[in-house]
Amino acid sequence: MSLREDIRNIAIIAHVDHGKTTLVDALLKQSGIFRENQEVQDRVMDSNDLERERGITILSKNTAIHYKNAKINIIDTPGHADFGGEVERVLKMVNGVILVVDSFEGPMPQTRFVLKKALELNLPVLVCINKVDRPEGRAEEVVDEVLELLLELDESERYLDSHFIFASAIGGWATDDLSVKKDNMEDMYEAILKYMPAPEGDFDAPPKMLISTIDYNEYIGRIGVGKVESGIIKVNQEMLLMNHLDENKKVKVKIGKLYEYDGLKRVEVPEAKMGSIVAISGIEDLQIGDTLTDPSNPNTIEFVNISEPTIAMTFSVNDSPFAGQEGKFVTSRQIKDRLQKELNTNISLRVEETDSADAFKVSGRGELHLSILMETMRREGYEFQVSKPEVLFKTDINGKKLEPMEIAVIDVPEEFMGSVMEKMGLRKGEMKNMIQSKGGYVRLEFSIPTRGLIGYRSEFLTDTKGNGIINTLFDKYDEYKGTIETRSRGSLVAFESGVAVTYGLYNAQERGILFVEPGEKVYSGQVVGLNARPEDIDVNVCKRKQATNMRASGSDDALRLSPAKKMSLEETLEFIDDDELIELTPISMRIRKRILDKAQRAKARSKN
């Protein structure tokens, strides 16, 4: 076995928004990857529009920088637990991790989640306390909190001498010593070379590689990304494709093209040696978890089982009166093909056929996981409908019903603590811990069923006047906690199709909160608002004022309408009831009743 000192393979892990993508930016910019005068956007690693808008990383990204005589392969991973499937996979490619922690917030639920995965694989940890230039930063305290977390997750104490580095990624500097402020990332590069181990393996052994991620390109097809575990892989080489979890998979393949990473680009190479992170094209049947191995010495590499989905929704063809008016892809065949394509790269997703040819059951890791897919499809020109998210139950060996549970960590000003605890109690949340934080804030930790959280985030923001922060993380399957009353208010449902007018809306707004504005087209059975009371009410928002001889000019203008409530996709998913659907098109997002006809709706209700 020999070390490959000219390479370091590292992953950057952190909680959402603690600055790991910005840190990669700083490392890239100072490594001379970009030309002197090259325009470089911020968060250059977040290439996807949705990632840039939401400020989160969804897909893991590969990049490489050169420092001194070493090439440092860096993988930027998602911090959100819904994308945990991505994190688990990429850790198989690296020899160490940089854990980024915000100097004010300290370790958060996802910090724990991603760190636990790294420790399970015995990966060394370099801790970067980021945003140390924040006025409210408390770097020394956070160092202690990280050490406590390391001890809690691994009792062997071997991680207590992990190296700490202090940085301002946005300021472009890092230092080993908090009392000495630097003006560059030099200390970070040095720490990577010193504390992150070089890949170890046998250059002379038969070639072997695990496919950890799959990329897809319209022109090249499937691209498998992974680390060469041993030997040397060459272009046009004959290899065997196998899988640790599927004994029957033995496919003879030929390496089409090989690419290594340099900066943000993929560069074609004739061969790749042990320790290199490479992308391979030209193999049709590549799946995540496959091993490419030497036909004369076939053996597979073990692969982490990806966490199971906890939430499911139905995606179906849009059958509203406005169907096909705004989307480019509207048929069940087109929707099915798009969902199948998503399975190529989205490992935590499941897609199943249903009794109807026009509907598909789509399961994922959480609401955010599925809403990102929906938003992406909308932007690509798809038009479809989705049902209310529902959790996936399991049954244990004794026939007991089990449901997914989450850990919810809530940071909230003391004055709102009472209403948060009351709401969590109604949703079967059980308080596990309470810590007094700085500045009049309290940190509350709850164990709560996943279904208790559906619909809670928007309510939580209202209850805390936007001052609360809630972070959740899948914990385990546990005994069913009983019925949870969720939405306590009914819908305002359009009585007829047409165009919403001020007069009709003015009369309807006395009943509750409206979702539509004057001039918007609506149809019978569309949900146009939230009723102040528990039952649904039909309203006529298209109703015009009866013309009389006494009509005063401009009297309609005097009617004052409250602004319509416009919800995000996540808020809409949380809002809808079991008998409602969301209609999604590239232009619009409407809530509607499953049964549009009022008489048929009443009949269905009486049956229940």
18 is annotated as contributing to ligand binding: yes
Q: With the C-alpha atoms ordered 47, 53, 59, 61, is the resulting torsion angle positive or negative?
A: positive
- Least Cα distance to 581 among 529, 539, 527 occurs for 527
19 is annotated as contributing to ligand binding: yes
Cβ(86)–Cβ(304) below 8 Å: no
C-alpha gyration radius of the chain: 27
Cβ(107)–Cβ(146) below 8 Å: yes
17 is annotated as contributing to ligand binding: yes
131 is annotated as contributing to ligand binding: yes
310 is annotated as contributing to ligand binding: no
585 is annotated as contributing to ligand binding: no
Distance CA 590, CA 385 (A): 9
Distance CA 422, CA 412 (A): 14
63 is annotated as contributing to ligand binding: no
Cα separations in angstroms, 465 against 412, 452, 462, 503, 563:
10, 21, 5, 32, 18
- 33, two tokens: 């990857």
Cα separations in angstroms, 285 against 120, 226, 249, 511:
30, 15, 10, 57
Count the neighbouring beta carbons within 10 Å of the beta carbon of residue 95.
Answer: 21
202 is annotated as contributing to ligand binding: no
Please identify which residue in the block is written with the tokens 């009351």: 422
- 67, two tokens: 């420092």
294 is annotated as contributing to ligand binding: no
Cβ(114)–Cβ(90) below 8 Å: no
- Residue 433: phi, psi to the nearest 5? -160, 150
Distance CA 6, CA 446 (A): 46
21 is annotated as contributing to ligand binding: yes
- Least Cα distance to 585 among 223, 370, 326 occurs for 326
Distance CA 2, CA 7 (A): 13
The binding site for GTP consists of 17-22, 130-133
The binding site consists of 17-22, 130-133
